[in-house]
Amino acid sequence: KQEVTQIPAALSVPEGENLVLNCSFTDSAIYNLQWFRQDPGKGLTSLLLIQSSQREQTSGRLNASLDKSSGRSTLYIAASQPGDSATYLCATLAWDAGNMLTFGGGTRLMVKP
Amino acid sequence: DVKVTQSSRYLVKRTGEKVFLECVQDMDHENMFWYRQDPGLGLRLIYFSYDVKMKEKGDIPEGYSVSREKKERFSLILESASTNQTSMYLCASSSGQDFTDTQYFGPGTRLTVL
C-alpha cells in the first residue's frame, strides 16, 4: 500500500529565503505526483502536477522535481514571501491505489516578515 | 476556471441527526470525490463517483452514504451523525475516465457533531 511522507511537519523561515519541502513515497509505480497548497480552514489548491515521465515542473517561483526511482519529490520555493505561509501537501496517484490520490501529512510553512 | 462549491462552510449538528453535505461543480466533470481531513490522519477518501448514479467506496465509507442524481452534484449523507464524524469534509472533482487528471477541491465544510 502506498505511503506518502512529508518531512518536516512544520517549517519557519524568514522572508526572502529559498526553501525546499520534501515528499517521499514507498511505491514508485505512480502515474503522477501533485503538490497542493492549503490555507487554514480552506480547501486545497493545486500548484503543480508532475507526470511520471517528467522530472520537474515550474510555475513562477515554484519548482517541483520528481525522482521516481528513489521515491522522492521536492518543492522548491524561491524568495519566500509571507503570503506563501500555508500547508503544502503532496499526493501520488498510483495504479495499485486504484488511481486514487494518496496524500502526505503536509508541511506547515510559516514565512516571517 | 473550475469552480467547486460546498453548501456550508461550517455546520454544527447533534448526535443522531441526519446530515447532508452538498457539493456542486460547474465544469461538467465526470468524477467527484468526498474526503475527510483530520489532524494527524491527513486526507482520507470516503466515496467517489464516476458517473450519475454510480458510486464507489473509498478507504473509510463506514457511517456514510452518497448520492449523485445529477452530474454536477454529489451529496454526502451521514445517516446518524456521531461525534467521531466531527471533521473537515472536502469535495473534489476531476475529468476523464481513468482518474488521472487534476482534482479540483472545494473550500471545505467543517462539521462539528455535539
Closest Cβ opposite residue B45 in set A41, A42, A100:
A100
Cell of B12: 454544527
Q: How confident is the model at residue A53 (pLDDT cuts 50, 70, 90)?
A: very high
Q: How confident is the model at residue A112 (pLDDT cuts 50, 70, 90)?
A: very high
| Residue A96: pLDDT over 90 | no
Q: What's B14's DSSP letter?
A: -
Query: How close, in Å, is residue A103 to chain B by CA atoms?
Result: 6
CB contacts of A46 in chain B (<8 Å) are 102-105
Q: Are the beta carbons of A41 and B58 separated by less than 8 Å? A: no
Parallel, antiparallel or unpaired: strands B109-113 and B10-13? parallel
| Residue A102: pLDDT over 80 | yes
Quote the CA–CA distance of A64 and B9 in Å, as a whole number: 31
Of A112, A87, A107, A111, the C-alpha closest to A8 is: A107
Region B38-65: mean pLDDT is 92
Of A60, A73, A87, the C-alpha closest to A33 is: A73
Of B31, B47, B98, the C-alpha closest to A98 is: B98
| Percent of chain A surpassing pLDDT 70 | 100
Q: Are the beta carbons of A99 and B103 separated by less than 8 Å? A: no
Kindly report the CA angle at B104 between A38 and A2, in degrees rounded to 5? 75
Region B26-37: mean pLDDT is 95
pLDDT at site A70: 95
Helix (H) or strand (E) holding B58: none
Taking CA atoms, what residue in A is nearest to B6? A43
Q: How confident is the model at residue B30 (pLDDT cuts 50, 70, 90)?
A: very high
Parallel, antiparallel or unpaired: strands A107-112 and A10-14? parallel
Q: How confident is the model at residue B89 (pLDDT cuts 50, 70, 90)?
A: very high
pLDDT at site A92: 94
pLDDT at site B2: 67
Helix (H) or strand (E) holding B11: strand B10-13
Quote the CA–CA distance of A35 and A46 in Å, as a whole number: 6
Count Cβ atoms below 10 Å from residue B89 Cβ, excluding itself. 24
Closest Cβ opposite residue A104 in set B42, B105, B106:
B42
Parallel, antiparallel or unpaired: strands B104-105 and B87-94? antiparallel
Q: Are the beta carbons of B90 and A42 separated by less than 8 Å? A: no
First to last CA, chain A: 41
| Percent of chain B surpassing pLDDT 70 | 98
pLDDT at site B96: 83
Of A76, A91, A78, the C-alpha closest to A38 is: A91
Residue with cell 458517473: B51
Taking CA atoms, what residue in A is nearest to B97? A99
Quote the CA–CA distance of B67 and A74 in Å, as a whole number: 38
Prior bond to B39 cis, omega within 30? Answer: no
pLDDT at site A94: 84
Region A52-73: mean pLDDT is 95
| Interface residue B34 vs chain A (CB under 8 A) | no
Query: How close, in Å, is residue B37 to chain A by CA atoms?
Result: 10
CB contacts of A30 in chain B (<8 Å) are none
The mean of the pLDDT values for chain B is 93
pLDDT at site B45: 94
Quote the CA–CA distance of B111 and B94 in Å, as a whole number: 24
Sign for the CA dihedral angle at B110, B80, B69, B37 comes to positive
Q: Are the beta carbons of B98 and A93 separated by less than 8 Å? A: no
Which residue type sits at B108? G
Region B49-62: mean pLDDT is 92
| Interface residue B90 vs chain A (CB under 8 A) | yes
